[in-house]
């Protein structure tokens, strides 16, 4: 293919020299002929990773799984009420990075996070901070819809119940109703709130999980490939929902679909082998990527 | 035909052959297992079914005041020690007149169980107006009579009864005054030296109290240990060591636990011998590894996505466990506990060591009364010389197996019922 593409592959291999080889071997062999050797991996992220009215501010984040470093010095901001998409090939660390933002990585014993991560003025890794409080402020939607094996109502009411957000039955009813409405699920389930949440279709389950997350009124919602297990119609519904939710919440979404990133996000961050290569307005990333690796990825030459 | 196709076809035949062979092995294995089961059940039921019925003889009993030697009918003390056996002897002599000589008389009196007198006492205590009246009653026959009655005509020749006794029994039979009735004492009495009076109720109650103690101790301790090890304990050398030891504990011969119970619980803590409380503690030690291992497996089977979902909402570790993991793991834990209980119910060896093998006639009323348990009762009866105990042993085995099958069915039922799908 083009000379340009070949250059990029070489860069990818250079990065690879510093990191274990087992990351995305397939993507590299595919692009092998398409790269040459003049592009340097940037010491600093290209583009514009910082914003003025940042909701979350991350600086020099390193993540280690035991001896292995999964994230290398990532710095970026997530602005208030903005949708940030994290894209990149498999194993590039975007999900790992996302899971640092509400400390879900704490559950993995060997995982160690270094750097400064702030939600407004709160240091996320302040030992005095209780993860319970943090996770109430930073909610998460997972890759596979994972409703509790309880009723639809109990699924949504669970968060408010454990945090004591509603003491009276009608307060709780109201939270459940508004959350399901915001998640665009109310009309479909209002007659069967007490049937099991696991009986819904995949797309409905995922919207139920979103309703469950926003029932706690978080400030930030993290979404880890929320549509990867869904069909195109359910995906379209979730994407609409993300657009609506961005009016009241700050959203960070990891996705493998570049079309999805282009459709739903304000800004896009491209990760490659544990480094943040480029972060810019979504339009810029997809029309005039500044870095060759980004271009190679979004044009489908590897990844 | 291409070379690949040819090669594939050749290997296909071989693969099918291998599959058929494997299936045949499997069917043979299952067939062998079923055959063994059928043999076991045929043998036990064949030997044991007769023990559920006992021989009774019908006689005219006169509650004669002089024979009983009672002055005051309202004096309980006097009534209690009256000569009821005398009534039976009178009735027997009346039925077969002309019996003289000590030997013959003893043979005649031996036809009726020594327990029959107590039934007469109970009747009279119940209804004191019976004094002086004559009633027709079914009286429990002696175990040797019972064996003779149940035996086929060939086996009757080998009976240890005397010729006189055989004639008398045949007279009863000819008059239709001898019949097999439901063996009440089997399910109401404790152990006895007389097979016709011996029952398993004492052992059943002993087993029940032992199982209650075992369940109350082992389930909470086992589940708590499993939850801690699975959800809270750090993964380090020490917890690895504990895990290995729990697995080893499951393989320790049960008699060792009995020795431990004898040395520590009875010897050191001074608890009484032969009581279900100590038996329960010993069986707890034996059951714990089973419960811990199965509970941990049940906890591991809870999908991590549920845990993550709860944690993502800000549930604390404890809330994740109590609200999500425990309800989902409970069916598995219960199944493990019931299987463990079933094992404990069938356990004999450790209980021998702590004295639950004693001959105990009274039905225990609580976990601190001396008692035996069902498998030990079976062991005791299997060891007894009287011929009737052969059938009783098999009958007790049938009762024990019924309990075990019931418990396992309950485990299956609970698993099916409580299992949630996600």
Contacting residues for A229 by C-beta, under 8 A, at least 6 apart: A143, A144, A145, A202, A206
Q: Give yes or no for residue A32 having a pLDDT over 50.
A: no
Distances (CA, A) of A233 to A158, A186, B160: 28, 18, 89
Q: What gap in Å lies between CA A58 and CA A81, rounded to an integer?
A: 17
Query: Which pLDDT score is estimated for A179?
Result: 93
Residues A291/A293/A299/A303 CA torsion (nearest 10 deg) = -150
A146/B contact by beta carbon, under 8 A: yes
Q: Give yes or no for residue A9 having a pLDDT over 60.
A: no
Name A47's bridge partners.
A279
Nearest CA in chain B to A145: B305
Q: Give yes or no for residue A18 having a pLDDT over 50.
A: no
Residue from B303, B309, B323, B327 to probe the interface with A (highest A Cβ count within 10 Å) = B309
Cβ separation A136–B420 shorter than 8 A = no
Q: What gap in Å lies between CA B286 and CA B214, rounded to an integer?
A: 10
Report chain B residues whose CB lies below 8 A from the CB of A213: 312-313
Cβ separation A148–B309 shorter than 8 A = yes
B134/A contact by beta carbon, under 8 A: no
Rounded mean pLDDT, A11-21: 43
Name A141's bridge partners.
A223
Q: If pLDDT is split at 50, 70 and 90, which confidence band does A167 have?
A: confident
Q: If pLDDT is split at 50, 70 and 90, which confidence band does A303 have?
A: low
How close is the nearest chain A Cα to the Cα of B264, in Å?
40
A214/B contact by beta carbon, under 8 A: no
Nearest to A58 by CA among A302, A214, A271: A271
Report chain A residues whose CB lies below 8 A from the CB of B316: 132
Candidates B303, B306, B308; nearest CB to A104: B308
pTM for the complete prediction?
0.80
Distances (CA, A) of A239 to A145, A287, B72, B125, B243: 15, 21, 99, 88, 47
How close is the nearest chain A Cα to the Cα of B250, in Å?
29
Cβ separation B311–A104 shorter than 8 A = yes
Cβ separation B312–A140 shorter than 8 A = yes
Candidates A102, A133, A144; nearest CB to B305: A144
Q: If pLDDT is split at 50, 70 and 90, which confidence band does A253 have?
A: very high
- Tell which CATH architecture fits domain B201-418: Orthogonal Bundle (1.10)
Least confident of A17-31, A172-186, A276-290, B293-307: A17-31
For A83, the enclosing helix (H) or strand (E) is strand A83-87
CA A212 from chain centre, in angstroms, equals 17
| Total CB pairs under 8 A between chain A and B | 68
Burial of B182 (0-12, 13-18, 19+ CB in 10 A): exposed
CB B257 within 8 A of CB B282: yes
Nearest to B300 by CA among B280, B328, B322, B272: B328
Residue from B313, B323, B421 to probe the interface with A (highest A Cβ count within 10 Å) = B313
pLDDT tens column, A171-201: 999 999 999 998 889 999 999 999 999 999 9
Strand order in the sheet with A220-224: A46-47, A275-281, A267-272, A83-87, A250-254, A220-224, A138-141
Phi, psi of A59 (to 5 degrees): -130, 130
Report chain B residues whose CB lies below 8 A from the CB of A107: 307-308, 311
Q: Give yes or no for residue A39 having a pLDDT over 60.
A: no
Share of chain A above pLDDT 70, in %: 85
Q: Give yes or no for residue A1 having a pLDDT over 80.
A: no
Report chain B residues whose CB lies below 8 A from the CB of A140: 308, 312
Q: If pLDDT is split at 50, 70 and 90, which confidence band does A42 have?
A: low
Name A79's bridge partners.
A54
Q: Give yes or no for residue A10 having a pLDDT over 70.
A: no
Predicted-complex ipTM score = 0.79
How close is the nearest chain A Cα to the Cα of B240, in Å?
15
Query: Which pLDDT score is estimated for A21?
Result: 40
Give residues 347 to 386 of B whose Cβ lies within 8 Å of A. Answer: none
What is the residue whose two structure tokens read 């035949």?
B13
How close is the nearest chain B Cα to the Cα of A8, in Å?
37
Give residues 196 to 255 of B whose Cβ lies within 8 Å of A. Answer: 234-235
User: What are the pLDDT tens digits along chain B (422 aa)?
Assistant: 688 888 888 889 889 999 999 999 999 999 999 999 999 999 999 999 999 999 999 998 988 888 888 888 888 888 888 889 999 999 999 888 888 888 888 889 999 998 898 889 988 888 888 888 899 999 999 998 998 888 877 778 777 888 888 889 989 989 989 999 999 889 999 999 889 999 999 999 999 999 999 999 999 999 999 999 998 888 889 999 999 999 998 889 999 999 999 999 999 999 999 999 999 999 999 999 999 999 999 999 999 999 999 999 989 889 999 999 999 999 889 989 999 999 999 999 999 999 998 898 999 999 999 999 999 999 999 998 888 899 999 999 999 999 999 998 988 888 888 776 54
Report chain B residues whose CB lies below 8 A from the CB of A139: 312-313
Give residues 148 to 187 of B whose Cβ lies within 8 Å of A. Answer: none
Residue from A119, A136, A148 to probe the interface with B (highest B Cβ count within 10 Å) = A148
Q: Give yes or no for residue A252 having a pLDDT over 80.
A: yes
CB B347 within 8 A of CB B283: yes
How close is the nearest chain B Cα to the Cα of A49, in Å?
26
pLDDT tens column, A92-137: 889 999 999 999 888 888 899 999 999 988 899 988 888 888 999 9
pLDDT tens column, B39-49: 999 999 999 99
Cβ separation B306–A135 shorter than 8 A = no
Strand bridging mode A275-281 / A267-272: antiparallel
Query: Which pLDDT score is estimated for B385?
Result: 87
3-state secondary structure A131-163: HHHHHHHEEEECCCCCCCCCEHHHHHHHHHHHH
Report chain A residues whose CB lies below 8 A from the CB of B307: 107
């Amino acid at each position: 293919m083009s000379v340009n593409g070949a250059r990029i592959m070489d860069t990818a291999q250079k990065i690879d020299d510093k990191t274990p080889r087992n990351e995305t071997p397939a993507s590299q062999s595919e692009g092998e002929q398409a790269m040459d050797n003049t592009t340097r991996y940037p010491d600093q992220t290209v583009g514009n990773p910082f914003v003025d009215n940042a909701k979350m501010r991350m600086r020099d984040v390193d993540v280690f799984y035991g001896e292995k470093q999964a994230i290398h010095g990532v710095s970026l901001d997530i602005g208030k009420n903005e949708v940030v998409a994290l894209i990149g090939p498999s194993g590039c660390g975007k999900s790992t990075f996302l899971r640092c933002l509400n400390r879900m990585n704490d559950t993995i014993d060997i995982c160690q996070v270094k750097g400064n991560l702030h939600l407004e003025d709160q240091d996320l890794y302040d030992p005095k901070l209780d993860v319970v409080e943090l996770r109430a402020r930073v909610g998460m939607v997972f890759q596979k819809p994972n409703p509790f094996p309880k009723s639809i109502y109990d699924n949504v009411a669970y968060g408010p119940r454990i945090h004591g957000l509603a003491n009276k039955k009608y307060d709780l009813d109201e939270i459940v109703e508004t959350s399901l409405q915001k998640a665009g699920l109310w009309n479909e389930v209002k007659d069967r709130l007490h049937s099991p949440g696991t009986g819904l279709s995949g797309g409905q389950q995922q919207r139920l999980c979103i309703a469950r997350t926003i029932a706690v009124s978080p400030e930030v919602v993290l979404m880890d490939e929320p549509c990867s297990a869904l069909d195109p119609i359910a995906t379209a519904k979730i994407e609409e929902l993300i657009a609506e939710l961005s009016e009241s919440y700050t959203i960070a979404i990891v996705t493998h679909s570049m079309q999805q990133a282009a459709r739903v996000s304000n800004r896009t961050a491209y990760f490659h082998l544990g480094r943040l290569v480029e972060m810019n307005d979504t339009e810029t990333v997809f029309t005039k990527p500044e870095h060759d690796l980004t271009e190679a990825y979004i044009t489908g030459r590897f990844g | 035909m291409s070379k690949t196709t040819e090669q594939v076809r050749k290997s296909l035949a071989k693969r099918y052959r291998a599959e058929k062979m494997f299936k045949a092995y499997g069917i043979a294995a299952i067939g062998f297992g079923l055959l063994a089961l059928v043999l076991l059940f045929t043998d036990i039921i064949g030997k044991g079914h007769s023990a559920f019925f006992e021989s009774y003889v019908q006689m005219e009993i006169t509650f004669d005041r002089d024979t009983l030697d009672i002055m005051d009918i309202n004096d309980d003390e006097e009534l209690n020690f009256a000569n009821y056996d005398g009534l039976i002897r009178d009735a027997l002599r009346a039925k077969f007149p002309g019996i003289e000589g000590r030997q013959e008389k003893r043979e005649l009196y031996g036809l009726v169980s020594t327990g029959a007198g107590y039934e007469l006492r109970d009747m009279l205590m119940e209804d004191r107006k019976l004094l002086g009246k004559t009633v027709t009653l079914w009286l429990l026959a002696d175990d040797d009579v019972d064996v003779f009655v149940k035996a086929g005509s060939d086996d009757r020749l080998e009976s240890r009864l005397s010729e006189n006794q055989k004639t008398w029994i045949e007279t009863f039979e000819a008059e239709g005054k001898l019949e097999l009735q439901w063996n009440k004492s089997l399910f109401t009495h404790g152990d006895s030296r007389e097979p016709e009076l011996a029952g398993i109720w004492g052992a059943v109650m002993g087993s029940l109290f032992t199982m209650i103690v075992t369940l109350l101790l082992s389930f909470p301790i086992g589940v708590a240990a499993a939850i801690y090890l699975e959800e809270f304990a750090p993964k380090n050398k020490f917890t690895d060591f504990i895990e290995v030891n729990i697995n080893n504990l499951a393989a320790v011969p049960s008699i060792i636990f009995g020795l431990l119970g004898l040395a520590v619980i009875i010897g050191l803590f001074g608890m009484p011998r032969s009581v279900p409380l100590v038996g329960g503690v010993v069986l707890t030690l034996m059951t714990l590894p089973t419960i811990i291992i199965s509970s941990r497996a049940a906890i591991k089977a809870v999908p991590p996505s549920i845990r993550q979902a709860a944690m993502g909402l800000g549930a604390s570790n404890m809330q994740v466990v109590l609200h999500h993991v425990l309800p989902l793991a409970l069916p598995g834990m219960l199944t493990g506990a019931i299987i463990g209980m079933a094992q404990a119910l069938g356990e004999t060896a450790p209980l021998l060591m702590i004295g639950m093998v004693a001959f105990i006639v009274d039905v225990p009323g609580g976990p601190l009364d001396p008692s035996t348990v069902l498998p030990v009762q079976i062991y005791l009866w299997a060891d007894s010389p009287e011929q009737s105990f052969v059938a009783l042993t098999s009958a007790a085995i049938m009762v024990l197996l019924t309990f075990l099958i019931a418990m396992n069915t309950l485990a299956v039922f609970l698993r099916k019922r409580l299992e949630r799908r996600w």
